[in-house]
Amino acid sequence: MSEASTPNTPEEKPASEAVNPTPAPPPAKAPRSGGGGLAAFALLIGLAGAGAGGWSLWQLHDMQSRDQQQAEDLQRTRDDSAKKVDELAQRLDSRLSALPSATELDERRRLLANLQNDQQRMSQRLESVLDGSRQDWRLDEAEHLLRLATLRLSALQDVASAEALVQAADEILREQDDPAAFAAREQLSRSLEALRTTARPDRVGLFLQLGALREQAATLNPLAPTFEGQGDVLSELAAEGDGSAWWSEWVKKLSDYFRIEFDADRNVRPLLSGQSLSQVRLSLSLAIEQAQWAALHGQTGVYQQSLKQAEEILDAHFNLDNPDSRALRQRFGELADASIEVKVPDLNESLDALQAYLQRKQAQRRQGAAAAKEAQ
């Protein structure tokens, strides 16, 4: 082989090299590790740039899709708004077409003004009618009060209630402030003064007094005869020694069944006990209750007759030697003279005067209504 064809063959060395005993240094090799790092770094940079470009493209595509979606939503919203606006415009057009014209509005205004005027006149008439009705009601109330006062006087002789009722009727006439009511008020004033000067007996107090006497009569007992020595302790002790104690006991028992009167001119009354005593007490209580009823209603005849009947029951069945019976009979005699009936004044003239005023008032109102009708 030639040297030109194989210049780098290690087996064949030049002569100079073979002669020289000093070995030649090995040839320098290119640094392979530094070039590979740069290539890897460049590759990483390229990959990062490609990733950044891809990400930018994806973001751009996403933004374009979002913009497109927003544009579609906006267009849809515009379409909906346009539809609503069209519907609202159609409604407004229909309403405007339903509204009346200017001439119709003028006619309606004129009719409304006429209606308001008519309503005002009707309200004025109604107020006048109601005012008259209130006055009529008040005057009718005054007449009713006066009738009620007359009834209280005639039925119960209640002067105080009648005075209050007549005073209320006079107050109603005073509220009318009508000069035509002068005659009626004058007559009512006379009736009031007559009622104020009328005597007013205390019937309620008399009723209560009779009730207290009726309670006392329910506990009233007849007086049984007794002997003088009864209840004397010294006489009983003295009688024990001389043998007369048995006689005293026998006489005491016998006195419960027999009664001896030494006065021949006095009527002998049987002793009451048990059912007979209850019947007598009941009769006396009924007589007193009848007197109470008569006292409340002003019945003088019935009142005096009832008290007289109670006195007769006391005289017939109870001994007046009994202090309770004597005090009760005396009290009956005192109450029998009490005045329970009064002479009440007559209110018919006041009632006639008030009725005459009411008739004149109604006649004037009817004439005024007729004149108003003719004027219309």
Digit-coded pLDDT (tens) for 286-301: 999 999 999 888 888 8
The residue type at 365: R
User: Rounded distance, CA 7 to CA 13, Å?
Assistant: 9
Q: Which of 65-74, 126-135, 201-210 has the lowest mean pLDDT?
A: 126-135
Q: Is the pLDDT of residue 8 over 70?
A: no
- Model confidence over 330-359: pLDDT tens digits? 999 899 888 888 888 889 999 999 999 988
The residue type at 310: A
The residue type at 324: D
Residue entry with tokens 């005012």 = 131
Q: Is the pLDDT of residue 234 over 80?
A: no
User: Rounded distance, CA 226 to CA 251, Å?
Assistant: 10
- Model confidence over 242-298: pLDDT tens digits? 555 676 677 767 666 665 655 545 554 554 544 677 888 889 999 999 999 998 888
- The CA-atom distances, in angstroms, between 64 and each of 10, 11, 55, 75 are 69, 72, 14, 16
User: Rounded distance, CA 309 to CA 294, Å?
Assistant: 14
Q: How many CB atoms lie within 10 A of CB 324?
A: 14
Cβ-contact 284, 217 below 8 angstroms: yes
Q: Which of 58-62, 88-92, 124-128, 198-202 has the lowest mean pLDDT?
A: 124-128
The percentage of residues in the chain with a pLDDT greater than 70, rounded to a whole number, is 74
User: Rounded distance, CA 171 to CA 272, Å?
Assistant: 63
Task: Return the structure tokens found at 37.
Answer: 């790092």
User: Rounded distance, CA 50 to CA 45, Å?
Assistant: 8
- Mean pLDDT of the region 77-81: 87
At 1, the pLDDT band (50, 70, 90 cuts) reads: very low
User: Rounded distance, CA 178 to CA 360, Å?
Assistant: 12
At 150, the pLDDT band (50, 70, 90 cuts) reads: very high
pLDDT at 307: 93
- Model confidence over 106-137: pLDDT tens digits? 888 888 888 888 777 777 666 655 555 777 78
Residues with Cβ within 8 Å of 338's Cβ and at least 6 positions away in sequence, in order, are 201, 206, 295
306 by Cβ neighbours in 10 Å (0-12 / 13-18 / 19+) ranks as buried
pLDDT at 308: 93
Nearest CA-CA partner of 291 in 314, 308, 279: 308
Question: E strands of 267-334, at which residues?
Answer: none
SS percent in the chain: helix, strand, coil, step 5 = 75, 0, 25
At 92, the pLDDT band (50, 70, 90 cuts) reads: confident
In the chain, where are the structural domains located? 114-198+346-375, 201-221+272-341
At 208, the pLDDT band (50, 70, 90 cuts) reads: very high
Residue entry with tokens 């007769």 = 312
Q: Is the pLDDT of residue 28 over 80?
A: no
Q: How many CB atoms lie within 10 A of CB 237?
A: 10
Rounded to a whole number of angstroms, the CA Rg of the chain reads 68
CATH 3.40.1350 for the 114-198+346-375 domain, yes or no: no
Q: Is the pLDDT of residue 236 over 70?
A: no
- DSSP state at residue 272: P
- Mean pLDDT of the region 99-112: 82
166 by Cβ neighbours in 10 Å (0-12 / 13-18 / 19+) ranks as buried
CA 358 to chain CA centroid, Å, is 38
Q: How many CB atoms lie within 10 A of CB 294?
A: 24
pLDDT at 18: 40
Residues with Cβ within 8 Å of 175's Cβ and at least 6 positions away in sequence, in order, are 138
pLDDT at 17: 42
Query: Average pLDDT over the chain, rounded to whole?
Result: 77
